[in-house]
Amino acid sequence: MSPELPFPVAAHAALSDSQLRHNLAHVTRSIRSKRAAAVAELSDWEQLRAAGAALKDRVLRHLDEYLLELEASVTRAGGVVHWARDAHECNRIVAELAAAHGADEVVKVKSLTTEEIELNEGLARHGIRAVETDLAQLIIQLSDDRPSHVLVPAIHRNRTQIRDLLRARLPEAAADLSDDPEELVAVARAHLRRLFLRARFGVSGANFAVAETGTVCVLESEGNGRMCTTLPEVLVTVMGIEKVIPAWRDLEVFLALLPRSSTAERMNPYTSLWTGVSDGDGPREFHLVLLDNGRSDVLADEVGRQALRCIRCSACLNVCPVYERTGGHAYGSVYPGPIGAILAPQLSGLREHRSLPYASSLCGACYEVCPVRIDIPQVLVHLRERVVASAPRAGVRGALDPERLAMRGLARVFASRRAYEAAQRAGRRGQGPFVSDGVVRRGPGPLGAWTSARDLPAVAPQSFRDWWRSSNG
């Protein structure tokens, strides 16, 4: 997904949407406090976090070996493994598998990875309809909208909007449908049950895949995940290559970390773990597509690599003061919030998401809640460096880049006492028209962007050094 607008522009639109801000404030505060309580219940949370981070590092530093082990295990268990370099290749593999089984409709479990590669659109181009079965994803799909939160994608819509949508789009919705969530859920249940029972082809993502046993794992709440991974004859799972974990027992760490960080539950209602195909139980055919799509590039950056530890819990979204105010759409990526600000630019290249590493106050709350200890502020600063370093240096644009000129000037000024004091004097004389009550509220030129959200202290009438010289000198 390429961003339509840079973050600061998109954020402005979001900030003036009062319904959105109301919903966001409610959801982030509510999940934040519940998560804190769920985590406080465990005396060994920090040990679990450390183990989670270490296990992910072990995998990432030996990713090629673990992927080969996973491939062998899945194959031994009766599954078929495919490799996809990018979104296009992955979508083609899934479409060809569906076509080979004569399926023109597939049921899908909510999966960020398949959103990242726009699988639904890819399948549509092959005449195959993908049906989202997670309630929020169904709402998003029916309204041709985009998810705004990793965990609760339709949180920017209220119950009345959802009622109107279901009434307009689903034959199962009665004309006098109320906006009671229970009634709305019943409509979605009736609609999807029909589809589940006739579904022949299911598509899922994966939260984890165990290299040792070939077991694939999906966590969910509604039961749509169980439906999609159990009832169809053929199941295709699309997983990013970083989702592999070494051994079965390592699930003891991640199944403790993820639900408490994500939905703030001790355990989510349903966790499905399947190993290839089983006789008389579940799909007769299982395909696993291992997707790169930029992940190997992230791996190559020694500082940025830790972003691949992410288990997509969304805890960092809920504690982020920026996300809480702008919501997910402003990030222009399927990965919003702090993790999105470091993952999106790395996955699709800094060129596409230059503004995202700046969409943060670097307060560090995201690092504190991250169940796999991703130092998001560290990666943000690192990416800012990369953004600056990758700006055009040569030619007229490079030479005249205002930020570069300003920084070069500042470097010169700070390098010599005389230049510094001369600049102070000049500032004192020149700031007159911009100062009120001792602060610059709206700076001139490029400084205007900085002062649009902050006050710049004015240069004092007398500097400390001047005062020292006049009183002690």
Partner 1 sequence: MADGPDVTAGASAREEILGRIRAGLRDVPAAERPGDVEVQRSYRLTDDRPRAELVALFAERVGDYRARVSRVPAERLRQAVAEAAAELGLSRAAVAPGVPAQWLPEALATIADDDLGIETLDELDLAISGCAAAIAETGTIVLDGGPLSGRRALTLVPDHHVCVVPADRVHGQLPEALAAVAPEVSGRGAPITLVSGPSATSDIELERVEGVHGPRTLVVLIAE
175 near partner 1 (CB under 8 A)? no
Q: Which of 88, 125, 129, 266 binds partner 1 (CB under 8 A)?
A: 266
Q: Does the protein bind partner 1 through residue 67 (CB under 8 A)?
A: yes
Is residue 178 part of the contact set for partner 1 (CB under 8 A)?
no
Q: Looking at beta carbons only, is 224 or 355 nearer to partner 1? A: 224
- For partner 1, the binding residues in 193-222 under the rule CB under 8 A are 193, 196-197, 212-215, 221-222
Write down the least CB distance from residue 149 to partner 1, Å.
10
Cα 52 from chain centroid (whole Å): 19
Single residue of 15, 170, 273, 362 touching partner 1 by CB under 8 A: 273
Q: At which residue do the structure tokens 């399948």 appear?
A: 123
CA pair distance 427, 9, nearest whole angstrom: 31
For partner 1, the binding residue among 10, 20, 31, 209 (CB under 8 A) is: 31
Report how far residue 17's alpha carbon sits from residue 158's, in angstroms, rounded to the nearest whole number. 13
User: Considering only residues 287-316, where is the footprint of partner 1 by CB under 8 A?
Assistant: 290, 292, 296-297, 299-300, 302
Q: How far is the CB of 416 from partner 1 (least distance, A)?
A: 39
Q: Is 383 in the site for partner 1 (CB under 8 A)?
A: no
Task: Note whether 267 binds partner 1 by CB under 8 A.
Answer: yes
CB of 381 vs partner 1, minimal distance in Å: 20
Q: From residue 445, how far is each of 379, 439, 458 by CA, in Å?
A: 30, 17, 16
Contacting partner 1 (CB under 8 A), which of 44, 121, 368, 403? 44
The full 3-state SS of the chain, as one line of letters, equals CCCCCCHHHHHHHHHCCHHHHHHHHHHHHHHHHHHHHHHHCCCCHHHHHHHHHHHHHHHHHCHHHHHHHHHHHHHHCCCEEEEECCHHHHHHHHHHHHHHCCCCEEEECCCHHHHHCCHHHHHHHCCCEEEECCHHHHHHHHCCCCCCCCCCCCCCCCHHHHHHHHHHHCCCCCCCCCCCHHHHHHHHHHHHHHHHHHCCEEEECCCEEECCCCEEEEEECCCHHHHHHHCCCEEEEEEEHHHEECCHHHHHHHHHHHHHHHCCCCCCCEEEEEECCECCECCCEEEEEEECCCHHHHHHCCCHHHHHHCCCCCHHHHHCHHHHHHCCHHHCCCCCHHHHHHHHHHHHCCCCCCCHHHCCCCCCHHHHHCCCCCCHHHHHHHHHHHHHHHCCCCHHHHHHCHHHHHHHHHHHHHHCHHHHHHHHHHHHHHCHHHEECCEECCCCCCHHHHHCCCCEECCCCCCHHHHHHHHHC
Q: Does 27 bind partner 1 (CB under 8 A)?
A: yes
Rounded to 5°, the CA angle 216-217-222 comes to 140
| Residues forming beta bridges with residue 237, ordered by sequence position | 204, 288
Binding window for partner 1 (CB under 8 A); candidates: 76-84, 200-208, 401-409, 451-459: 76-84
Q: Which amino acid is at 151?
A: L
Cβ neighbors of 396 (< 8 A, separation 6 or more) are none
Q: Among 8, 78, 364, 443, which residue interacts with partner 1 (rule: CB under 8 A)? A: 78
Residues 435-454 that bind partner 1 (CB under 8 A): none
The one among 104, 125, 181, 450 contacting partner 1 by CB under 8 A? 181
Q: Indicate the residue among 10 and 49 with the shorter CB distance to partner 1.
A: 49
Q: Could you tell me how many residues make up the chain?
A: 473
- Decide: is 227 part of the binding site for partner 1 (CB under 8 A): yes
Among 62, 351, 425, 454, binds partner 1 (CB under 8 A): 62
Selected from 11, 130, 139, 150, the binder of partner 1 by CB under 8 A is 139
**By CB under 8 A, residue 152 contacts partner 1:** yes
Can residue 132 be called a binding residue for partner 1 (CB under 8 A)? no
- The piece of 23-31, 336-344, 363-371, 403-411 that touches partner 1 (CB under 8 A) is 23-31
Q: Does 282 participate in binding partner 1 (rule CB under 8 A)?
A: yes
- Residue 253 binds partner 1, judged by CB under 8 A: yes
What's the min distance (Å) between Cβ of 133 and partner 1?
Answer: 8
Instruction: Identify which of residues 10 and 218 has a Cβ nearer to partner 1 in the complex.
Output: 218
- Examine residue 19 and tell whether it contacts partner 1 (CB under 8 A): no
Verify binding: residue 258, partner 1, rule CB under 8 A.
no
Residues of span 81-120 touching partner 1 by CB under 8 A: 82-85, 89, 92-93, 96-97, 99-100
Query: Least distance in Å: CB of 335 to partner 1?
Result: 19
Residue 378 touches partner 1, criterion: CB under 8 A: no
Q: What's the min distance (Å) between Cβ of 74 and partner 1? A: 10
**Judged by CB under 8 A, which of 12, 88, 159, 408 binds partner 1?**
159
Nearer to partner 1, 276 or 377 (CB): 276
